[in-house]
Amino acid sequence: MRRTANQRRLKNYLFANKIHFKMMLANLTLMLLVFAVVIGTVLYPFYQAIFKIGDIYAQHYSAKFFVDLLDRLSLALIAVLLISLIYQMIINHKFCGPLVNFSHTFKKISQGDLTRKIYLRQYDFLKNEAAQVNDMIDSLSDHIMTLKRDNDHLLSAIESMSGVEVEQAEYQSAIETLKKQADICQEHLSVFKIEGNSD
């Protein structure tokens, strides 16, 4: 079965981008700190008993219990870290994948290409934000199409006037038509607010 356009490659789970890597590293560091605190809290009384108790049998029992607990907690730590790593890869991919998609779309918009939309998979995060960006692209496309249509009308009116001998009354009428078309263009352009524009 062929892959659809909105699916991303399996290798992206493993070869993460910078944001994905930083999030995974921060989460794994937090997990290691939590386990260090848990292991230290659980094992410290037995470790202390090994050196503080004068009874050799109690020391032997504490040392044996300490080693058994350390073995079991180490296995549990490895298992939980593996589960946590897989979970973080999946969750972070559902967050970072859309960010990459956003980045590519924003790059296209900055180049003047409004044909690219953000398409997310079913379980990706940031769906509301993707819908807002897609609505923005649609709105910009509509405004630009309106401006292009107005500009085409203006150019058509100019071309119909050029190279033709006209009387003063017809000339005045043509100028008024051009002024109306220019006013329509100006009205549609006034929708945009641009930094540094005093109007």
What confidence category does residue 35 fall into, taking pLDDT thresholds of 50, 70 and 90?
Answer: confident
Q: Are residues 87 and 177 in the same domain?
A: no
Domain finish residue from 62, 90, 112: 112
Is the residue at 119 inside a domain?
Answer: no
Q: Is 82 within a domain?
A: yes
Residues 19 and 70 placed together within one structural domain of the fold = yes
> pLDDT tens digits, residue range 186-195?
777 777 666 6
What average pLDDT does range 128-153 have in this prediction? 87
Q: What is the 3-state secondary structure (H, E, C) of the chain?
A: CCCCCCCCCCHHHHCCCHHHHHHHHHHHHHHHHHHHHHHHHHHHHHHHHHHHCCCHHHHHHHHHHHHHHHHHHHHHHHHHHHHHHHHHHHHHHHHHHHHHHHHHHHHHHHCCCCCCCCCCCCCCCCHHHHHHHHHHHHHHHHHHHHHHHHHHHHHHHHHHHCCCCCCHHHHHHHHHHHHHHHHHHHHHHCCCCCCCCCC
State the pLDDT confidence band at 134, using cuts at 50, 70 and 90. very high
Same domain, 138 and 92: no
Domain that holds residue 3: 1-112
Supply the pLDDT for residue 1.
38
Number of domains forming the structure of the chain? 2
- Least confident range from 3-12, 45-54, 114-123: namely 3-12
* 134/199 same-domain check: yes
Q: Which of 59, 84, 112 is the last residue of a domain?
A: 112
Q: What's the pLDDT at 135?
A: 93
Say whether both 4 and 73 belong to one domain: yes
Confidence grade of residue 15 (pLDDT, cut at 50, 70, 90)? very low
Across residues 83-109, what is the average pLDDT? Answer: 83
pLDDT reported for residue 115: 87
Q: What is the pLDDT of residue 5?
A: 46
Together in a domain, 85 and 151: no
